[in-house]
Amino acid sequence: MYKWPEEIKTFIIENVEGKTAQELADMVNARFHFGATVSQIRSAKKNWHIQSGSIHGIRAGLPTELYPADVMQYIRENCAGTSPADMAERLNERFGTAYTQNQIRAYYKNHHLRSGLDGRFQKGRTSHNKGKTWDEFMSRDAQERSRRTTFKKGNLPHNTRPIGHERVSEEGYTYVKVRQRPSRKDCNDNFVAKQRLIWEEHFGPVPDGCLVAFANGDPSDLRIENLVLETKQQHAVKNRCGIHGYDRESARAANMIADIKMQIRRKETATHEQDKH
């Protein structure tokens, strides 16, 4: 639920009597330069259990104190291709008003007006800085501020973690930062599982197709006695069949059971293929 500023909430409650949602939106926008929409006012009235007592279904689009008839006509005739910010500027210059961008945006929405602009740079439109150098379209002060804050090539963000930094995943696995940046944008190989590093310190590189698992299933128990080497296939079968160990010896036994299950599966598949032929 949207939380209205207290002063605006008080203003709506005090002025709701006899007012339509459109009139209340216009009053709030004029008083607080807020940009409230009709739907927001209706939701607020419903949530606060207040009623205006106005005639239901009153025709929209009637002139109000905030939007006189000549202003409404100008907006209606010129909204196409004009953003709320540009429209506010035009109205203020033409009628001596003080509309804000949010007020006009709310007016567009409440009256179902479309500027036809989607925020993208239109094809064929010339950029304001086309053909200009940095020195030509930026003031000296702006240039100096830009130089102070521009990220230099090779610099690292202020929150960069040092090599050796450890982080723990939601599943409880510990990862250690081993290099400053990933080798590719689509991977995260600058962090390595800590159990793998511990294993390699004792026994050398982990063979391809293998991983280091926790014998008792506890990823926070990083004792070398709790680490066991197993193939990815063994690991998958153990997880699928719910086969788990309690220490290194029972974990190795579980791996042997996984191997047996895989052999049985291969023989069953081979027999099935023979029967088909």
Domain ranges of the chain: 6-110, 166-276
- The fraction of the chain above a pLDDT of 90, given in percent, is 27
pLDDT at 184: 81
Find all residues with CB under 8 Å of 182, minimum gap 6, and list them.
188, 189, 190
The answer, yes or no, to whether residue 59 has pLDDT greater than 60, is no
Question: So what's the pLDDT on residue 175?
Answer: 94
Q: Exposure of 89 by Cβ count < 10 A (0-12 exposed, 13-18 middle, 19+ buried)?
A: middle
pLDDT-based confidence at 55, cuts 50/70/90? Answer: very low
Rounded-to-integer distance, Cα 130 and Cα 132, Å = 5
Q: What integer is the mean pLDDT of 105-126?
A: 77
User: What pLDDT, on the 0 to 100 scale, is given for residue 4?
Assistant: 86
pTM above 0.85, yes or no: no
- How much of the chain, in percent, has pLDDT values that exceed 70? 87
| Average pLDDT value for residue range 8-19 | 86
pLDDT single digits (tens) 139-189: 777 777 777 777 666 677 777 888 899 999 988 999 999 988 888 877 778
The stretch 102-128 carries a mean pLDDT of: 78
Res 174: pLDDT: 95
Average pLDDT, the chain: 84
Tens of pLDDT, residue by residue over 253-276, are: 999 999 999 999 899 888 888 877
* Per-residue pLDDT band at 242 (split at 50, 70, 90): confident
From residue 221, alpha-carbon distances to 31, 192, 212, 213, 227 in Å are: 63, 17, 13, 11, 9
